[in-house]
Structure 1
Amino acid sequence: MSKIGSSQSLPRIAITVGDVAGVGPELALKCAAIEKIKSRCVPLVFGPKTVLQAIGAKLNLNVPPSIAPTDIAGADSAAIVDAGDITSDQFEIGSVNEHTGRASFQAVDLAITQALLQDVDAIATGPIHKEAWHAAGIQFPGHTELLASRTGTSDFCMMLTSETISCVLATIHIPLADVATLLTTEKVLRAIRQSHIALSRRLGRSPKVTVCGLNPHAGENGLFSHGEETDIIQPAIAQSISDGIEVIGPLPPDTAFTPAMRATTDVYVCMYHDQGLIPLKALAFDDAVNVTLGLPIVRTSVDHGTALDLAGQGKANHQSMIAAIEMAIDLA
């Protein structure tokens, strides 16, 4: 929590704008002006000041005053923290490049530094563009891996959550063809344990965890698998049950998300990225939040991308960003 102020001081939430060519800047500016948000936290928008001012003027959005990173610890109202080495003539709205990638990385990197210093109480990240990061020579495939590296965390997981459904991923940003090779009992066990910890705190009780299989029909006892369910997933489930976690599986992925199963499941453990994100986005696209579990700092995020086709038009739905900020406040 905050290092300064009274016990009633509001948490400072770093809101990173993501890629400036996308919808992130307008979402951040919209959210920083919402009275409900400002009544619960001090929203600090991390992004390039001149670009945010230009986007704010174009879309007729309120742009808060800017402050230096050295002033963050004393911030008590909405502000821009100037972060990201880019100017308006180095990109076009709707088109990413190495400049937009570098700027979005720099904004997130500064927010992480401030969180580690405890000058901000949580980070809510806007959408980055992974190809832009790659073009800028950044080696991290996304936020999650950067956060893990910067905080020295190896025991981490990605959770996508909403009021409707929550999914934790055993593997994250890897090609589908590599999932079976890289999936391990330790990764599945970690996802189950992190799911249990996170949902126990959120629900105030022991959650019901459903683990998906990797293959069609959860492998059909080896007929449709190379032993992933029996050799990798089932041992993780058995250990979790021994540890006192309420967990079932591995279930066939094509029936795990039916209404009847969702009614008896608090959180799903999914073996790869799209296994969890397809049902989650189908059911809760506008209000789902990405939370990185296991970090020493609080990080939430929108669950959508940069939406380059909507950028600069003022049409982007900011509900997911609101949800991400509100969850960051709750966790902080």
Structure 2
Amino acid sequence: MSDFTKIKSYPLPKIAISVGDVAGIGPELSIACATSEAIAKRCQPILFGPLDVLQRVAERLNLSIPEMIDVPIDGASAVEPGRFTAATGQASYDAVCRAMDATMTGQTAAMVTGPIQKEAWHAAGIEFPGHTELLADRTGTNEFSMMLTSDTISCVLATIHVPLADVPTVLSIDLVARAIRHGADALYRRLGRSPRIAVCALNPHAGENGLFSHGEETRIIEPAMTRVRREWAASTALEIIGPLPPDTAFTPMMREKVDVYICMYHDQGLIPLKALSFDDAVNVTLGLPIVRTSVDHGTALDLAWKGVAKRTSMMAAIQMAIDLSCPTSDN
């Protein structure tokens, strides 16, 4: 199927799922989760990806293909598990764009993205480094943040796909305040109360008053925290602590007191999150006009088409997409 005119309509919210790079584990996870009873009772999942390749994956793993929008790929018969190419990169990009268009026009209530291979996008000449930047560009969103979340820990990133050496020059009061604000809004909706927020420092020991820093904590992070506190003060008090030394911010005792962490760079948040919740964490793009969630793992090329990859992150991503877009849908 290549358009929505052939998609049967059910009295459940439609959720778009782009299957990711077909050389990886995205197709099998998307198919298996979309056909599971737990998902089928809450939404109508619609896959976006190359039908020819997905049929091969389904036949190999004895799975049935759910309803889907076919996004053709060049040389479908030559696609092999574990071997990404420019063609698989282009197909995964096209699938994301089709799923995004469906969600932006209201044909689907939300979108879930399977794992892409960023090198394959680069090989295909695609200028975006990842999903988040593409989504922001196509939706005309200037202020967005990436949140990685699970039942154990939630982290919002002030900077995303930025080389570590560039982080100090990229950080600004506006950028950190945006991440705090997005984290506060997201967790307020999720918890129904004012969330407890911990802001991580950039430098060791939170800079030790300038001994181990160039003043990022006092020049950038603290003013950003003050700004957001003042914004929320008119309606409800917001508990924001920090800047915290990153090496103690994520201890078990601290996590009991924190609902969401604001992290200055990619690995500062993703290392603790993946250590604690590798199998069930979800990536949520905050600030977009649509709901987008994603798995929090890569393409796992060595496991592709074997039926052994864990489905928990994809299941959690679909469930969260339903919760965020259709909170009254049956649990």
Aligned to 1:223: 211
Displacement of 1:63 in angstroms is 1.3
**Which structure 2 residues correspond to residues 200-215 of structure 1 after superposition, within 5 A?**
200-215=188-203
Aligned length: 311
Q: What secondary structure is seen at the aligned counterpart in 1 of 2:64?
A: coil
Displacement of 1:103 in angstroms is 0.3
Q: Which amino acid aligns with 2:245?
A: P
Deviation by residue 1:11-68 (Cα, 9 ceiling, x = unmatched): 100111000000000000000110110000001011000110011111111113xxxx
Instruction: Name which of 112, 118, 123 aligns with 2:111.
Output: 123
Cα pair 2:86 2:121 within 8 Å, conserved:
yes
Aligned to 1:92: 80
Deviation by residue 1:164-190 (Cα, 9 ceiling, x = unmatched): 000000000011111111111111000
**Which structure 2 residues correspond to residues 192-207 of structure 1 after superposition, within 5 A?**
192-207=180-195
Q: Does 1:152 align with 2:140?
A: yes
Q: Which amino acid aligns with 2:159?
A: T
**Which structure 2 residues correspond to residues 146-185 of structure 1 after superposition, within 5 A?**
146-185=134-173
Instruction: Name which of 57, 71, 77 aligns with 1:55.
Output: 57
Q: Which amino acid aligns with 2:280?
A: D
Deviation by residue 1:172-217 (Cα, 9 ceiling, x = unmatched): 0011111111111111000000001000000000000100000101
**Which structure 2 residues correspond to residues 10-25 of structure 1 after superposition, within 5 A?**
10-25=12-27
Aligned to 2:299: 306
Cα pair 1:84 1:104 within 8 Å, conserved:
no
Cα pair 2:53 2:79 within 8 Å, conserved:
no
CA distance in 1, matches of 2:176, 2:212: 20
CA distance in 1, matches of 2:158, 2:78: 38
Q: What secondary structure is seen at the aligned counterpart in 1 of 2:241?
A: strand
Q: Does 1:28 align with 2:26?
A: no
Q: Which amino acid aligns with 2:321?
A: A
Unaligned runs of 5+ in 2: 1-9, 326-331
Cα pair 2:279 2:312 within 8 Å, conserved:
yes
CA distance in 2, matches of 1:10, 1:197: 27
Q: Does 1:277 align with 2:270?
A: yes
State the superposition RMSD in angstroms.
1.0
Instruction: Name which of 279, 282, 294 aligns with 1:286.
Output: 279
Q: Which amino acid aligns with 2:113?
A: T
Percent identity over paired residues: 64
Cα pair 2:53 2:77 within 8 Å, conserved:
no
| TM-score of the two chains, using structure 2 as the length reference | 0.92
Aligned to 2:5: none
Instruction: Name which of 204, 221, 244 aligns with 1:233.
Output: 221
Q: Which moved more, 1:149-158 or 1:90-99?
A: 90-99
Deviation by residue 1:275-305 (Cα, 9 ceiling, x = unmatched): 0000000001111100000100000000000
Q: Which amino acid aligns with 1:29?
A: I
Q: Which amino acid aligns with 2:41?
A: S
Q: What secondary structure is seen at the aligned counterpart in 2 of 1:309?
A: helix
Aligned to 1:321: 314
Q: Which moved more, 1:277-286 or 1:86-95?
A: 86-95
Q: Which amino acid aligns with 1:211?
A: V
CA distance in 1, matches of 2:253, 2:156: 19
CA distance in 2, matches of 1:186, 1:153: 15
Unaligned runs of 5+ in 1: 1-7, 65-78
Cα pair 2:16 2:99 within 8 Å, conserved:
yes
Q: What secondary structure is seen at the aligned counterpart in 1 of 2:198?
A: strand
Q: Does 1:82 align with 2:70?
A: yes
**Which structure 2 residues correspond to residues 131-150 of structure 1 after superposition, within 5 A?**
131-150=119-138
Q: What secondary structure is seen at the aligned counterpart in 1 of 2:302?
A: coil
Cα pair 2:179 2:262 within 8 Å, conserved:
yes
